Amino acid sequence: MSDSSPAAASASPACAPHRRALQRQTKRLATLPEAPWLHQEAARRLAAKLAPIRLQPKDWIDWSAFLGAGAELVQAQYPQAQRWVVEPSGELAQRSQAQLAQNAQRDWRKLWRREVPQAHVEPVPADAPWRRDGSDGAQMLWANMTLHASADLPGLMRRWYEHLAIDGFLMCSGLGPDTARELRAVYAALGWPLPTIDFIDMHDLGDELVQAGFADPVMDMERLTLTWETPEALLAELRTWGGNVAQGRFAGLRTPRWRARLLETLRERLMRPDGRLGLTVELVYGHAIKPTPRIKVEAEARVSLQDMKRMIRQGDKPG
C-alpha cells in the first residue's frame, strides 16, 4: 500500500515536491471520474470573489481546468468571454479536450463551423491563440487549486504573468499550511516521514506574486473542518486530492501491518466527540493585477516598439 496523503508544493526549495512523483500523481488524477469535491468547493468560493471586480474579460485562461472545476462558475459570471484551456499534462489535456468536444456538439453553431476549442498543454507557446489579432494576452487567468501542485511555483507565476494582458488579473487558490495538520501530527508521533510538504502561506503567496511582477496582490484564507465516518473513508478522499510528493518521502511500498497501524492511530487521534474523524483544510486565495510596465529613463533608454505602443494607448510615460 502506498503512502497516501495530499499533494503539496511550496515556494521553499527544501519543501518543493519531487517532480517525477508529481507527474505520476497528475497522471493518476486524470483518471478520476470528476474533479475532487474539495476542488469543486474551492472553485465555488473563489468564484464568489469575482463579483466585486469591474473588468469584464473578453478572454480568460482556465489553467489546470479539469481539476480546477471552475468552468461553469466562471462562464456564468462572464457568459460572453472566450475560455481557453491549459492543462499541466497530456493526460489532463485529453480529459479537457473530450469535454470541449462534447460542449461543441451541444452548440450546433460551433459544430457547424467546426470551431472546437483546443486544450493546450503547459508550457504554452508564445503564439498562443489568446494573443490573436495582436493582443498581448488574456484579461483573466483562473488557476484554482494549483498553488500546491507545481514543482516550480515561482516559475509558474511568471508564466501566468506572461499570458496576461496589461491590467488583466489573476485568480488563484491552493492548500494552506494548516491543511492536514492532524495527519502530520500522527506521522510525527509515530516517527514516520511527514506525509506532506509545507503548503504555501498566505503572506508568502503575496511575496511570490510581487516577485513574479504582479501588482496589488490581495490574499485571503479560510479553514474548513472535514469529517469522515471511518479512517478508510478519510484516506480514500485524501487520495483524490493527490499523493505524497515530498522530497525524502518513503520510497517503497508500505505493508498491510503498517496500514493497520495507521488506521488504528487515526481512530485514536482524530476521533471527535460526535464519533467522526476530523481533519483541517486551509484554503488560500490570491488575486493580483498585471500592471503597466514602467520604463526607467537613463542616459540612454531603449524601449521596444510593443512597449511604446502600449504606453501610447494607455497614456503612460517613462518613469
Domain parsing of the chain, residue ranges: 13-176+199-222+283-314
For residue 243, the SS3 value is coil
- The model's pLDDT over 169-206, given as tens digits with 9 standing for 90+, comes to 999 999 999 999 999 999 999 998 888 878 999 999 99
Question: Residues 6 or more apart from 109 whose CB is under 8 A from it?
Answer: 115
Query: For the chain, what is the mean pLDDT?
Result: 86
- What does the DSSP 8-state code read for residue 17? B
For the record, the C-alpha cell of 117 comes out as 476549442
Q: How far apart are CA 163 and CA 78, in angstroms?
A: 19
For residue 258, the SS3 value is helix
Please give the CATH number for the structural domain made up of 13-176+199-222+283-314. Answer: 3.40.50.150
Distance set, CA 153 to CA 10, 47, 119, 169 (Å) = 7, 22, 21, 18
Q: How far apart are CA 137 and CA 61, in angstroms?
A: 9
- The model's pLDDT over 123-133, given as tens digits with 9 standing for 90+, comes to 998 889 998 77
Reported as a pLDDT band with limits 50, 70 and 90, residue 246 is confident
Confidence (pLDDT) at 109 = 59
Confidence (pLDDT) at 291 = 96
Do the beta carbons of residue 167 and residue 293 sit within 8 Å? no
- The model's pLDDT over 283-300, given as tens digits with 9 standing for 90+, comes to 999 999 999 987 665 555
For residue 95, the SS3 value is helix
Confidence (pLDDT) at 139 = 97
Q: Which of 161, 241, 149, 145 is nearest to 208 (CA)?
A: 161
Do the beta carbons of residue 208 and residue 154 sit within 8 Å? yes
Predicted TM-score (pTM) of this structure: 0.85
Q: Which of 112, 165, 115, 120 is nearest to 138 (CA)?
A: 165
Confidence (pLDDT) at 250 = 76
- The model's pLDDT over 70-111, given as tens digits with 9 standing for 90+, comes to 999 999 999 999 999 999 999 999 999 988 888 777 766 555
